[in-house]
A and B are shown apart, each in its own frame.
Chain A
Amino acid sequence: MIATVITLIARRLVAAIPILLIVSALLFCVLRALPVDPAAMSLPPNATIEEVEAKRKEMGLDKPLVQQYAIWLKGALHGDFGASIQFRRQAGTLVASTLPATIQLAVAAMAIAGILGLAGGLVLFRLRGTLLEPVADLLSILLLSIPEFLWGLILLFVFGVLLHLLPFTGAVAPGLPIPHVTGFLLLDALLIGRLDIFLSACQHLILPSIALGLAFSPTIMRVLRSSLFDVYHEDYITQARLRGLSEQQVLIGHALKNAALPTLTLAGVQFGILFSGTLLVEVIYSYPGMGNLMVDAVRNADLPLIQTIGLTYCVVVLIINTAVDSLYVVMNPKLRVR
């Protein structure tokens, strides 16, 4: 089984190379088509035309597009993604310093989406054939109509503004120092033994992660319900019933395990979308992650930074998809035989 998984991962990684090359080339072309001049932008406004020209030469902007891409690619392979125009720091460093916060948020949100999706799916399924079924079904469609962006605003309004229960800006309370060990705030706070920072960081994570989790749970609910429906047509369910198992035992012990597989695949696909959903939630809650950095870069037409962040999102999504596929092989015995 391990061999199968390794082959699968290796094959996916090899397949990812051309995808990343094409994606980065496309990104490069789109961003170079902009009517902005990175050279002029990286100089003070009183720079002379000669200075701008010299800078253009230095940045390689006078060369043909293909050659520019080759230069960028060579740098990227050595870990040099160019310097951000507005921050005057390496784009790679900036991304590396904000990525952990985004990962933390995405993982917390995925856990919440998973729990809500599982519970909701089971409830939806148990309501089948009852008078409440159409109501619950409609409710799940309405839930599906609230994207993370609206949940973010609704939760901010209810719990932050109206009830004053939870903080809704930043990653920790203002005034608290931000430890830098691994980059993952929750972990770092524990590592340096500051429980106050840890608790504050947890509080600040609650609203953004719930907003994101709530937006992705209805899809999981609906898929879990429909795969439970499929599973209940199988003979082994009838057999389990004939053996005298209670409805609860049949559902949890037999049906859920088998229905989990398609749900898991979907949850994996969702995780990729959820990861990019962090962007808006971060903007709404001023959460210092990669999404906020991206919006900042986009507003200031900071091309090297946009390119690096865009590519990072792609890489993360590719990694998530590969991980989900391997997990699928691990969980599904039928796929292990080759």
Chain B
Amino acid sequence: MAGPLLRALRSPRVSIALGMILGIVFCAIFAGTIAPHDPGDQNLLSILTPPVWADGGDPSFLLGTDSLGRDVLSRLIYGARTAMLVAVFASLGAMIIGTILAHISGYFGGVIDWIIGRAVDIWMSFPPVILSLILMVGLGVGLSKVILAIILVDWTRFCRVLRSEVLIVTRNDYVAAARLLGFTHWQTITREVLPATLPLLITLISLEMAIAVVVEAILSFVGLGVGADQPAWGQMIADARQYVYQSPWNLLLPVIAIFLTVAAFNVLGDGLRRTLDVRLSETGR
């Protein structure tokens, strides 16, 4: 496991992507220290200031201000915190539920497999965007609600892809041997099957983090995200969309932030997939 991971890191793509992610994570963790202003501070005397390099830019607001005079750079940095919190917890949650069900389904087969399979079918007959919107209506806005909604929508991605992997792994002789040695089902799954599906799992998590960032941005954009008091990139876009003629940069900057984050996770996921060489369908999104 460690060998292939190190090999993956040697690819320039993967290391650049990882570097970018670490940079964003750094912003997220130390947002309070590196942000020049409080992201909620309103300066109604200097609203919609352009970035410092444009005409009329103010050096105290490096990337300008939004329609309420809040510092765009600080909001971008705090937005990274929101995005990373959602990416990490939503994908971990979806992974845990999806992985457990996939292992139960693939390992035991039979009726359990059928039931879980049908549940996934029904879940997936709902377009993800629509399902998350409906869940947000039910849950209400807030950071933890966004995370919960993404978990409830996206566990199926893990479940479906991992189940087929578990099915293949379970047929291996060493799994049967483990059972013959007197391993319990639990021991067999955790010690023999799970390690074999781990490479696929790591790739899936990376891709899922990209999806979670996008979904959070979408929900915040339509006003059903983390809530108005928490800076989020999607919210910044929704705000800037109304003043796109006056301050185009306010729209572009969060768009660039989302793109860079999503691209970094996707490139990392793709690089890991290549080096860890797993069967992953191209329908990763």
The answer to whether B283 touches A314, judged by C-beta atoms less than 8 angstroms apart, is: no
Chain A: interface secondary structure?
A: helix
Across the two chains, which residue of chain B brings its CB closest to A321? B125
Q: CA of A226 to CA of B214 in the docked complex: distance in angstroms?
A: 26
User: In whole Å, how far is B132's beta carbon from the nearest beta carbon of chain A?
Assistant: 10
B263 touches A34 (CB 8 A): no
Q: Choose, from B171-179, B189-197, B241-249, the stretch at the interface.
A: B241-249
Judge whether B137 and A298 touch: CB under 8 Å: yes
* Cross-chain contact B283 with A266 (CB below 8 angstroms): yes
- Asked if B134 contacts A31 (CB within 8 A), the reply is yes
A294 at the binding interface (Cβ < 8 Å): yes
| A146 lies within 8 A of B259 (CB) | yes
Is there an interface contact between A223 and B252, defined as CB atoms closer than 8 Å? Answer: no
Q: Given the complex of chains A and B, what is the CA–CA distance between A141 and B266 in angstroms?
A: 7
Within 8 A of A (CB), among B107-126: 121-122, 125-126
Cα-based distance from A147 to B217 in the complex (angstroms): 11
With an 8 A cutoff between CB atoms, is B148 at the interface? no
Q: How far is the CA of A168 from the CA of B136 in the complex (A)?
A: 28
A299 B223 Cβ-Cβ under 8 A: yes
A173 within 8 Å of B (CB atoms): no
What residues of A have a CB within 8 angstroms of the CB of B224 in the complex?
Answer: 298-299
**Does the CB pair A156–B214 fall under 8 Å?**
no
Q: Known contacts A141-B266, A272-B127; is A33 also within 8 Å of B241 by CB? A: no
Q: Are the CB atoms of B138 and A30 closer together than 8 Å? A: yes
B252 and A306 contact, CB distance less than 8 A:
no
Expressed in whole angstroms, the minimum distance between the Cβ of A127 and any Cβ of chain B is 17
CA–CA, A141 to B282, complex, Å? Answer: 11
* SS of B interface (majority): helix
Interface members, chain A 198-247 (any B CB < 8 Å): 219, 222-223, 226
Q: In the complex, A222→B285 CA distance in Å?
A: 12
- For residue B138, which residues in chain A have a CB less than 8 angstroms away from its CB? 30-31, 33-34
Docked Cα-Cα span, A309 to B126, in Å, equals: 11
Q: Chain B contacts of A299 at CB under 8 A?
A: 222-224
Contact of A280 with B129 in the complex, beta carbons under 8 Å: yes
Q: By the criterion CB–CB under 8 Å, are B126 and A23 in contact?
A: yes
Q: How far is the CA of A22 from the CA of B126 in the complex (A)?
A: 11
Closest partner residue, chain A, to B234 (CB atom) = A149
Q: Report A-chain residues with C-beta under 8 Å of the C-beta of B237.
A: 153
Q: Is the CB of A276 within 8 A of B251?
A: no
Closest 6 pairs (CB-CB, A-B): A276-B127, A145-B263, A145-B262, A145-B266, A223-B282, A30-B138
Contacts A/B (CB < 8 Å), 28 sampled: A34-B137, A35-B140, A141-B263, A141-B267, A145-B259, A149-B217, A153-B251, A154-B255, A157-B244, A157-B252, A161-B245, A219-B282, A226-B282, A266-B282, A270-B283, A276-B127, A279-B130, A280-B221, A283-B221, A284-B241, A295-B133, A298-B224, A299-B224, A309-B130, A310-B130, A313-B127, A314-B126, A314-B127
